[in-house]
Amino acid sequence: MTEPFFSPDEIERYARHIVLRGVGGPGQQKLKAARVLVIGAGGLGAPLLQYLAAAGVGLIGVADDDIVALSNLQRQVLHGTQDVGRAKTESAAAAIARLNPHVKLVQHKARFSADNARALVSAYDVVADGSDNFATRYIASDACFYERRPLITAAVGAFDGSLTVLRPYESAPDGEPNPTYRCLFPEPPPEGAAPACAEIGVLGALTGILGAMMALEVTREIVGFGESLVGRLVLVDALDMRFETVRYRWDPANPLNGKRAAMSRSAASDGEHSFGETLTGTGRGPR
């Protein structure tokens, strides 16, 4: 006899998913078989990793080259005081092993960059970007487009946050291509217009809210319940505790799946050249 897909421990552990209409046993099997890449083990990545592991995602990769600092602990709840000075990927691996021994975490101790983006993305089914800068977000969106992987991307400010899902390699029911990250943000903001949290601060619990929402959308992409956030941007205002959802559409001028880009790809054998050219308009990774 073949062994059951779930051990008795897993059946008990995931019981609330298994009885949940819209997930059930088949959905939990999809989660166990899924491979998810998380970019960054910081403010967004920490709660995201915890909920993905708790949900039973079978293989989680985390890409981060940073170490745990004491100032991280106000919001990066995956790490503890004893982890200060430790690589974030190592701290994450230890925490996930304690949380759910049925989950495998793969450490990528490297900065997610134009040099390794496509190789990393291609090894996973879904990508979740919790990075803290526009350069990395553009690189992630471009790599996911060329590798045809769904991307869940979020960002936080001092008291605000945003979240969306990108599948620009597919088309909407009306035949129009799905929008890209560059349809939302054609150009990165001017230098200094989006200061880092070290300069302006960030509400710790807000990163937990957005990170948990990212985990929900990753789960949705894997299992397939409800309506995807493709073409919709969720805005969170923590000052007044307001949530707003706005729709956005494909921009024919965008350099990924716009009209000119489609003509360029038809004349090329693959997207390698386009990928290098479109990254933040410079071909360089994050600095």
Catalytic residue (choose from 155, 184, 197, 234) = 197
DSSP 67: B
- Please confirm, yes or no, whether 197 is among the known catalytic residues: yes
What are the backbone angles phi and psi of residue 234, rounded to the nearest 5°?
-90, 125
Phi-psi region of 207 (alpha: psi -120 to 50; beta: other; left: phi over 0): alpha
Spatial separation of the C-alpha atoms in residues 63 and 70, rounded to whole Å:
20
Spatial separation of the C-alpha atoms in residues 270 and 266, rounded to whole Å:
9
The DSSP annotation for 228-284 comes to --BTEEEEEETTTTEEEEEE----TT-TTTSHHHHHHHHTSSSSHHHHHHHGGGTT-
Catalogue the active-site residues: 197
